[in-house]
Amino acid sequence: MSYKDSGVNINEGNKFVKKIQPYVKKTLTSQVIGNTTSFAALFSLKKERMKDPILVACTDGVGTKIEVGIKTNKIRGLGTDLVAMSINDLICTSAKPLFFLDYLATSKLKVDYHAEIIKGIVDGCLESDCSLIGGETAEMPGMYDGKDFDLAGFAVGIVDKKDIYNNSKIKSGDLLIGIPSSGIHSNGYSLVRKLFFSKTNSFSSDSRFVNTIMKPTRIYSKLFSMLKNNVHIKGVAHITGGGLVENIPRILPDGLGVELESNSWPVQKIFRTIQENSSLSSEEMFNIFNMGLGIVICVDKKNLTRLQRILAAKKEKHYIVGKVTNSSNFSII
């Protein structure tokens, strides 16, 4: 029995690397040293002129949105989702993205099919101004069924210590500013696929609905690069798993809570559709989904006008969605 007979095709792997290289090269900056096909990637920090540079690292996946992507044959956007999930976490510290690495695991590698995922990762890296400096493609026969695959992403950024958001300074009365999401983003899909894709129905065959469901996660790094050094921000929450209810409190000091005004921003239609086709209460929806807000910024009242002016100048929609309270509770009014 040959290695190929066991399910691993080395030639296909080599073809895959050759196929994706032109796309990967689009992301590489002058800080990348040498090539990205060696045993490890090298990245120079020489141009990062900071007094006290701090590296910031994070990792994430895309979850069961992958299964919906496979069923709907919309897998390129999953690559963008993968980048977004880590980059949006990274910028919650005020860090600038530097580079990204990916992990793709599947039972049988198909060059053209799986290259679409890498193209999506490249899309995300270009949007977030970071280099795709490495990755791993694992062909593991018997570990996955059919077209099934899994993804993991790893992002590294840098921030000057003095610029790290100081969440400890957040106090009662500070305002919460919501920045719109592009849709569901990348969490809550275990429910979405059970509701709409477990069997053939009017939803799964509606191309507009599918496009809405599979819209890639918005990446916010360019927005925060623009805000940096122009307005004082106390904290930033990336609204992912756990929804608004769990993610906003993550940036608050102990003893403080949130009062969220649920009518202060437009909730996208897709969230109403999910609630109407499930048994979820409004409270549960807010505890699962982003409800139309991908990022929530915490600022002092005195900095609100400046923040609004900057966002308006860039035609960036934003909403005052609530405030920090002395109670440790999370209340939705």
Does one domain contain both 57 and 101?
yes
Please indicate, yes or no, if residue 222 is contained in any of the structural domains.
yes
Number of folded domains in the chain?
A: 2
Does one domain contain both 97 and 176?
no
Does one domain contain both 263 and 171?
yes
**Of the candidates 19, 48, 28, the residue with the CA atom closest to the CA atom of residue 11:** 19
Please indicate, yes or no, if residue 196 is contained in any of the structural domains.
no
List of long-range contacts for 7-14, beta carbons under 8 Å, 24+ apart: 7/107, 7/108, 7/139, 7/141, 7/142, 8/139, 8/141, 9/108, 9/109, 9/139, 12/109, 12/110, 12/111, 12/139, 13/109, 13/137, 13/139
pLDDT score, position 84 = 98
pLDDT score, position 53 = 95
pLDDT score, position 137 = 92
CATH of the domain at 123: 3.30.1330.10
Tell me the pTM. 0.93
Burial class from Cβ neighbours inside 10 Å (0-12, 13-18, 19+) for residue 80 reads buried
Does one domain contain both 102 and 238?
no
pLDDT score, position 142 = 83
pLDDT score, position 205 = 64
Find all residues with CB under 8 Å of 92, minimum gap 6, and list them. Answer: 165, 235, 236, 237, 238, 251
Does one domain contain both 20 and 64?
yes
Please indicate, yes or no, if residue 313 is contained in any of the structural domains.
yes
pLDDT score, position 309 = 94
Please indicate, yes or no, if residue 127 is contained in any of the structural domains.
yes
- Edge-to-edge strand ranges of the sheet holding 131-139: 53-60, 149-160, 96-106, 131-139
Does one domain contain both 23 and 151?
yes
The DSSP bridge partners found for residue 106 are 139, 149
Please indicate, yes or no, if residue 133 is contained in any of the structural domains.
yes
Does one domain contain both 22 and 94?
yes
CATH of the domain at 324: 3.90.650.10
Please indicate, yes or no, if residue 192 is contained in any of the structural domains.
no
In sequence order, which ranges of 134-281 are alpha helices (DSSP H)? 189-196, 207-213, 221-227, 243-247, 269-276
Task: Kindly give the parts of the chain with pLDDT less than 70.
Answer: 1-9, 36-37, 199-205
pLDDT score, position 141 = 86
pLDDT score, position 33 = 92
pLDDT score, position 3 = 60
Does one domain contain both 79 and 107?
yes
Does one domain contain both 111 and 42?
yes
pLDDT score, position 200 = 64
Does one domain contain both 275 and 292?
yes
Please indicate, yes or no, if residue 29 is contained in any of the structural domains.
yes
Does one domain contain both 17 and 143?
yes
Domain range for 235 is 167-183+218-332
Does one domain contain both 53 and 119?
yes
Please indicate, yes or no, if residue 176 is contained in any of the structural domains.
yes
Last residue of a domain, one of 128, 163, 198: 163
